[in-house]
Amino acid sequence: MKSLYERLRARRLASVFVLLATLSAVIVGGSFAAHGVRAQEKQNSSADATPLKVVNSTVLPNEFVKIAKEVGPAVVNINTRTLPKQVAGKGRRNFHGRVQPVPQQPGDDDQDEDQNPQQGQNQGQGNMQDFFNRFFGGQMPDTEGGDDGQVRQSLGSGFIVDPKGYIITNYHVIDKADEIYVKLSTDPDNQDLGRRARVIGFDKSTDLAVIKIEASTPLPTVKLGNSETAQVGDWVEAIGSPFALAQTVTAGIISAKNRTIEPGANGQFQHFIQTDAAINPGNSGGPLLNMNGEVIGVNTAIFTQSGGYQGLGFAMPSNTVVEVYNDLISPSHKVTRGSIGIIFRQDLSGAVNRVYGFKNGVLVQEITAGGPAEKAGLKVGDILTTIDGRPIKDGDDLVNEIASRRPGSSIRLGLMREGKQTDATVTIGDRDKVFADLGNQQAEKDSEEKGDPGEAKLGIVVREVTPATAAKLHTTGVVIQSVRSGSFADLQGLEPGLVIIRINKQPTGNKEQFDAVVGKIKTGDDVVFEIMDPRHPDQGINYVGGTLQ
């Protein structure tokens, strides 16, 4: 048997051998690891790479660069604010003054139907409104406010044409706005909204407006070019504020000229330049420029299925813009157009032309009672063939010629009546007045046909109050039975159950009195209702009203 000493010595030798083996393994492993690291470092080495340098070369500026630098300072960003009390197009003011949503009816849109573009699409276009998005300048609302309504903001563009601060833009950019602000390219970015602007005048028929800002020093301006000399295929450049990105420049060509994109009366004064220069929400009112840096159009509309650019943009020609601008800065601040008070239909079939025996001309289908045409002896069925001896091509030709004449001047119309050639001298009337009279006639006609002027004009059906209600209110009147959604009465906040005691200070104590008062109201008149609520007779009389459109 081994001694204790021998056993301890054997254990120490075994421990040494284990330690030596471990150290050998670590040394060998470290050697391989070091070798791997050195290989990896060699593989990832970039010692032979050459640092990059920016080449200091100069690219000669092209015409687009020159135009952007020259015209950019005169292009402005326009912001508008519409306060809650003005949001009648999207809601109604109820009896207690709060705004309530009104469900949209088929064919409804954000603007009044008598306002040209953006403003009442023709019902016959069917689904055209789904992808013809005209008023893209106001599609980025930023809302704030609480239960009493919303403050709505919209964005557009414009350009300075007079160093004193006169700016051209689209009417739909500033329509219904309570506050208008303009930002110049030189204004600081941190400036909240910009400089306050005021409206000088607007023209719904061409969707143009003139606004003005105050300036202590002369402002940069654009030059107006001749849109008539522009040709299909010419290069053009657009500058504006799409999606709030100010001073955005895009380029393209003129794709077509004389485009009428809205049929009927709404499109009679809208013959656009079509371009494929990228135009998007916020470009409304910005300039379309030729390669001389001259404005040849005001970017107004797009045709789109997505709400954004799809290669079809439309600009109001500068020659039209100049004529409208000069009228809007005149003392009257309005565009006055001539009219003879007739209604005709465009694009009659060849069969109509052959049966009535004419190739070119206009077939009169309706005449405004008491208007210039009727006074001159024109009749329904007359075919207008010449104006002051010049052949009439079509309805657009006739409208443009007559609209350019001043009210009070005379024209000589050649016409065919029952196959015989004759003529008539017609005194030009004011288009606005002539067609306002026509609208009043139609309203009266509708009232007669429906037999209820309250329903036809105001959109309400009424009946006389009961003796009990009269006693509770200490007065007589008519109680509202129903209110047509979206009607004038609805937008004023009238509701079934309310009692109307007077309209425009005239008593409406019974249905006969109510019909007599309403029967005299015409389009454009102010209408004020004196209302009482039988549920709250202690509140007394409330006054609500607006202008009948």
Q: Got the DSSP string for 227-267?
A: GGG--TT-EEEEEE-GGG-TTEEEEEEEEEEEE--S-SGGG
Mean pLDDT of 461-480: 89
536's CB contacts (< 8 A; 6+ apart) are none
What's the CA gap between 111 and 134, in Å, rounded?
12
Nearest 5°: phi and psi at 118? -60, 30
| Residue 369 pLDDT | 84
Q: What is the mean pLDDT of residues 37-58?
A: 79
Domain boundaries, the chain: 1-33, 72-213, 223-328, 338-433, 451-547
- Mean pLDDT for 348-357 is 75
Q: Do domains 72-213 and 451-547 have the same CATH topology?
A: no
- Above 70 in pLDDT, residue 459? yes
| Alpha carbons 443 and 500: distance in angstroms, whole number | 22
Beta carbons within 8 Å of 475's beta carbon, 6+ residues apart: 501, 509, 532
Q: Stretch 360-389: mean pLDDT, rounded?
A: 89
Both tokens of 169, joined, read: 């833009």
- Each residue of 397-421: pLDDT tens digit? 898 899 989 899 999 999 989 888 9
What phi, psi does 375 have (nearest 5°)? -65, -30
**CA dihedral angle for residue 402, residue 406, residue 409, residue 413, rounded to 10 degrees:** 0
| Out of 11-15, 429-433, 441-445, least confident range | 441-445
Compute the distance between CA of residue 422 and CA of residue 364 in angstroms, rounded to an integer: 15
CATH class (in words) of the domain with range 451-547: mainly beta
More confident residue, 195 or 152: 195
The backbone torsions φ and ψ at residue 216, rounded to the nearest 5 degrees and listed phi first, read -80, -25
Q: Give the C-alpha separation, 45 to 41, whole Å.
A: 6
* CATH 3.40.50.300 given to domain 338-433: no
Rg (CA), the chain: 37
Q: What is the DSSP letter of 144?
A: B
Segment 80-104, tens digit of pLDDT: 988 764 434 444 444 433 333 333 3
| Distance, CA of 367 to chain centre | 32
Both tokens of 498, joined, read 């309310």
Between β-strands 294-302 and 223-224, what pairing exists: parallel, antiparallel or unpaired?
parallel
CB 67 within 8 A of CB 74: no
And the tokens for 159? 């350009």
Pairing of strands 506-507, 478-483: unpaired
> Is CATH 3.40.50.300 correct for 223-328?
no
Q: What are 39's two structure tokens? A: 């290989």
Pairing of strands 208-213, 287-289: unpaired
Q: Is 2.60.120.10 the CATH classification of the domain at 72-213?
A: no
In whole angstroms, what is the distance from residue 547 CA to residue 525 CA? Answer: 6
What is the C-alpha separation between 527 and 458, in angstroms, rounded?
10
Mean pLDDT, all residues of the chain: 79
Distance CA 156, CA 137 (A): 5
The CA-CA-CA angle for residues 478, 480, 483, to 5°, reads 150
pLDDT of 169 higher than 90: yes
Residue 463 β-bridge partners: 479
Please, which residues have CB within 8 angstroms of residue 311's CB and are 6 or more apart in sequence? 276
Q: Mean pLDDT across the stretch 424-428?
A: 94
Look-up of token digits 């001896």: 389
Residues marked as catalytic: 172, 207, 284
276-311: pLDDT as tens digits: 998 888 888 999 999 999 999 999 988 877 766 777
Q: How confident is the model at residue 16 (pLDDT cuts 50, 70, 90)?
A: low
pLDDT of residue 286: 94
Cα separation, 240 vs 75, whole angstroms:
7
Residue that has been written with the tokens 């006693």 in this structure: 471
- Distance between CA atoms of 426 and 367, rounded to whole angstroms? 13
